[in-house]
Structure 1
Amino acid sequence: MQAAADAYEGPLRQEILDASYELFDLVVACVGVDASDV
């Protein structure tokens, strides 16, 4: 996702980064792993 975000600038780049973190959090929640263990 970082490479995708780097292809854009400004607010859109931040939205992509935010979405990637939200997706990561969702996957962690579904798997049941504590994010601090990753």
Structure 2
Amino acid sequence: MSGLPLFGGALLLTLGALLAGSEYGWGTLKTLLAQGPAG
């Protein structure tokens, strides 16, 4: 794996958020997106 594109990760996170729910899912998504690029 030569490094998964950030777009791929973001897409998976978005799908996960939608499947998880609304507030909880989006809250987690925002947190992951905020920590992802920074990390």
Bigger radius of gyration, 1 or 2? 1
TM-score, reference length from structure 2: 0.44
